[in-house]
A and B are shown apart, each in its own frame.
Chain A
């Protein structure tokens, strides 16, 4: 669930929240996070140079 907008306390629309819950079979943001993080890890493990911090 993405919340937040500039200059506004983010107020999710209740209908949207319910609608989102119905569409639970769609891949959630949480799962995308895990997929992206693991892909990045795999990239780094096979030798992508470290990003300087």
Chain B
């Protein structure tokens, strides 16, 4: 009980700040949507962009006291809650159809990232384990994959922070660059959503990129991203075995347990809600039941969007321009090459399989 109270007190200031900014951002965007007459400027004043840019401005310009830090860090929790709640919107059959082709694309994307980033890291003389961390980050899901892999391959602390810096810099860049490319190529919500889910590294930034494009794109982004997250354990296990065979890390004794520990459990939550709501829809087909259920999924959608709004504020607050400059040129060079290669490769793949992608 004491620990619970301690944690609450520690998190409260930051959480209150994030919630206040989220509500303020939403109200501001609602007002701007009415006031601004020019359509394309109005689209820039969407609540997603206001939340992220507002967070960035406050995080970089206002010297926030340390007391807010733990609470701001909770945006990752809100992100996951938002994703789990989104599960209610998807028919489990759709999840299976898009998930099947999504998983196949993710496997190709991960193999390409690992091969390319590994090659590039060697070319630039980066330490081997830093190269592996970057491959994991670029290939799967950014920061959480790097944090998951670092102890398993016994990577150095500097390498870990370096890899995380690269992922965060390019996550921030993706928020701007991807939607621009999408609009330039007039990509559909479906194609753009799948592309962002496959290519943007960090889950929070991927979801934000999809949301900036459109609400429909966000649904595809989330599903494609979850396919990547689901494979995290396998890739980390692969690297752990690779380094332990070379005597550079401890041996993995229990592979099944290792996979289970590294599996992101919130993916199960997403699937669980999708199964629950699909089952209810199938078991109660009457018009009345349908009306009841869609009012409930509507409420869950609101809740999920609020959770994402908190996430976007957190993403903005976390993005530090000062640290980007501090990280130096080397991760930038490796990052540009790796991210550009993955972006080009995945966009090609998405266009190639466009005809096979099911519509949600």
Q: Which residues of A contact B (CB under 8 A)?
A: 1-14, 17-18, 21, 24, 28-34, 36-38, 40-41, 44-45, 48-53
Contact = CB atoms under 8 A, between A and B. Distances in A.
Contact of A9 (B151, B273, B317, B327): B327
A33 B301 CA distance: 16
Contacts of A51: 299, 302-303, 306
B235 to A, nearest CB: 17
Contact of B273 (A11, A21, A37, A50): A37
B143 A10 contact: yes
B151 A4 contact: no
Contacts of A6: 14, 59, 64, 68-69, 72, 317-318
A39 B74 CA distance: 18
B204 to A, nearest CB: 9
Given A12-B160, A17-B150, A44-B299, A5 B266 contact: no
Nearest to B326: A9
A27 B171 CA distance: 29
Interface in B68-82: 68-70, 72-77, 80-81
A8 B66 CA distance: 11
7 contacts: A2-B73, A5-B70, A6-B14, A14-B156, A34-B268, A34-B272, A51-B299
Contacts of B266: 30, 33-34, 37
A41 B161 contact: no
A9 B146 CA distance: 14
Given A9-B323, A24-B261, A37-B269, A1 B302 contact: no
Contacts of B327: 9
Interface in B260-302: 261, 264-266, 268-269, 272-273, 276, 295-296, 298-302
A7 B133 CA distance: 23
B259 interface: no
B269 A1 contact: no
Interface in B150-170: 150-151, 155-157, 160-161, 164-165, 168
B303 A33 contact: no
A9 B143 CA distance: 11
